[in-house]
Each structure stands twice: as structure tokens, then as C-alpha cells.
Amino acid sequence: MAIYSVPALVAGLLLHVLPAAGANPAAYGLLDVTQRPYGADPTGKRDSTAAIQQAVNDARDRRMITWFPPGVYLVSDSIIASQETKSGVRPPLHRRDDFPCILWGGTHGGRAVIRLKDHAPGFGDAGKPKPVIYFISIKPDGEPDNPNISFNQMIVSLDVDLGKGNAGAIGVDHQGAQGSVTEDVHVKAEGAFAGFRGTLGSGGGVSHISVEGGRYGLYLAGLGKLKQYAGSQPSPVISYVDLTGQTELSILSDVRGPLTLVGASITGPGIRVASTRAEFNGALNLIDSVIRLRGRDTAIAANRPVYLENVYIEGAERLVEIEGGATLEGGPGWLRVAEYAAGPSPLYPVWIEGRKQVAPWEVVRPGAPPADYRLRHA
């Protein structure tokens, strides 16, 4: 089941009505990046970085949605979606969460795509990753604030192409909390660092995203200006995610609370849970999902508890390998993990109907995924 907020649903209805009505986008609270005074180029021929950045800033300050009609928008630097606390402004009026950045792509007649220029300056170093779309909360002094107060910020139906020669590029960096949304966003990341850095929790939601290529599909760990933080706010849920052809890991996870993935489709290397936080952080729940392992021996490696339900795994010598704990062996062909639960030490026992057991709980049988294995999460 996809996760929506009320603002997302309302804006979504407006976007479906708008093209048919032929009305002025501003009448619907939409700031069109292609219109004056911005003039972003939807043909992808002219650099639109400055135009888009100004549109994002103005839409935020006017409490509007930054709207991208279908087309390709060429950029050469990060688009900063910053939620800011203005000097001299005090709650409860004009709080920062009343001024979110909402980036929305039109879907009638095609998709809206932000395309990073090939060999863009600042994006070529894999040791210094840099996002193309960067959501962040900013203090009055201009320094990054804790992402737990990045509220109501959204990116919906807007795709990202990381171009060529951009080994340090990240498609979307969006780590936030209540009311924040990443939905229907797809990243082409061949030769780049990652599709997504960070994810949403504490009442934020992520659904229907995908990444093609990249070293990582989802890099859910602190990085850059947010290096001191985990890769999410507490208890993130990601629904209906497709990850294909990554070279390092499909998912690297160091999150707050447990990470829950439902309806995931992974073709490539596996998942690595490498939590550096307190013991109650970092567990992995994987439900109604498929892993077609390519290029690695282990589908899921973790230093925190792992719970699986109705997960199909192909081509893994080891289905789950838990640091300091048991290994769930795999084998050739498809295996269906009907249910599995295990932790890395006696500190993480398995509880079944109120009874504690230290040994893993596992129910594994041969079986390939049916076509509708994740249909209920669509």
C-alpha cells in the first residue's frame, strides 16, 4: 500500500485536472518552472539550473508547488530544496514547516526529468558524493539543521538522469520527517554513486521509486553535511522499490529504528545492514519481496536483526548472514523464505507466541515468485 499525505493527494488531483482545464497553473497553487520570469528549458538544450533554483525558492516562500511540465531539464549543479528558519520570525506564525519545498512533475504527455550535464563540475569524485536534488533544513545562520525537523517536503513524479562521467553524483538526497514524501521518482544512475541518499521516517513516506545502475541503489547512511546523522529518521518504510544493476550494494543501511521494505524488487548485489547506532537501531524487515542476486554470494548481510516474510531469493549461496549469529544457507535456483527471524547475539532473542528462543526461526522452501507477489503494495 502506497503512503500518501493529505497535501500530496490534493496536489495530485489538481495536477490531473489542470491540463484538461487549460487553466493558469498559478490558480492551482502551481509555480510553472517554464514560465516567466524563470524560463526553464524543457527541451534539455539549455542549462536550467539557475531558473529551477529560483523557482524552488519562490514557490517555497509563496507556499506554492514547484511544477515541472513534462520534458527534460538540463542542470549542472545541485538544486537545493531548503526549508529555512528566517531570522526574526517566531512560532506559531510562519514556522519553517509552513514553508516546505514541494517539487512535482507533470505526467500527462510524458515524464519530467532532471538531467545532470555530462562531466558536470563537482560531481566527478566518487569520494565526495554530491546530490542533484538536495532537500535540507537550514538554520538562520545558514548551517544544516537536524533532519528531524525537515517537515512536509515532497518530491513526486519527477525523475533524475545522472548523465555520464559523474561518478560522485546522487540522484535525490531527501531525509526528513513528518509529512515528507518521496513518491513515483525514478533515477538513472549508470556510472554514478547512488540513486537515493537518506530516506524518510517519523511519519514521512516513500513509495514507487526505482534506481537503474550506480554503486548503490539506496545509500541510507550519513554523508556529506549530514554525516553525523543516521541515514533516516526513526522507522522508515519504503514501499514498491525497484533496484537494478548496482555494482557495490543494492542497499547500504545505517538507519534509526528498523528499516521496513515491502514489495521490493532487487536485481544485482544484495543488502548490507551496517548499523553504527545503538542496539535498538538498524533492524531490517523485508516483506513480499524478490532478490535476484547477481555478483555476490550473500543476499542479506547484517549486524542487526533480520525479519523476512514471503521473500523470494535466487542465486544466493547464503540467504542471510548475520554478524556474530547464524547463517541461513541458500542454494541454486529460487528459494521462498516464508518466514525468518534472527539476531546477531542473545541480546536479540526471537519471541514466538510469548516464548523466547535464541535459535533463528526459519521456514524456507523451493519456489519462484508468482507474478502478483507484491500486488497488494502497488
257 Cβ contact list (under 8 Å, min separation 6): 201, 232, 234, 235, 236, 280, 281, 283
Q: For the chain, what percent of residues have pLDDT higher than 90?
A: 69
Q: Which of 76-90, 100-114, 198-212, 258-272 has the lowest mean pLDDT?
A: 76-90
| Averaged pLDDT for residues 196-206 | 94
Residue extent(s) of CATH 2.160.20.10 domains in the chain = 1-227
Mean pLDDT to the nearest integer, 126-155: 86
Segment 256-306, tens digit of pLDDT: 999 999 999 999 999 999 999 888 899 999 999 999 999 779 999 999 999
pTM for the full predicted model: 0.92
- How many whole angstroms separate alpha carbon 243 and alpha carbon 265? 6
Alpha helices in the chain (DSSP H): 6-21, 49-61
Residue type, 325: G
Given a cut of 70, whether residue 10 has pLDDT beyond it is: no
Confidence band of 96 (pLDDT split at 50, 70, 90): low
Higher pLDDT, 146 or 34: 34
The dotted CATH code for 1-227 is: 2.160.20.10
Dihedral angle computed from the Cα positions of residues 294, 297, 303 and 307, in that order, rounded to the nearest 10 degrees: 70
Of the pLDDT bands very low, low, confident and very high (cuts 50, 70, 90), residue 119 is very high
Q: Chain-wide mean pLDDT for the chain? A: 89
Residue 281 has a CB neighbour count (10 Å cut-off) of 19
Q: What is the pLDDT of residue 329?
A: 95
- Read off the pLDDT band of 207 (50, 70, 90): very high
Classify strands 181-188 and 158-161 as parallel, antiparallel or unpaired.
Answer: parallel
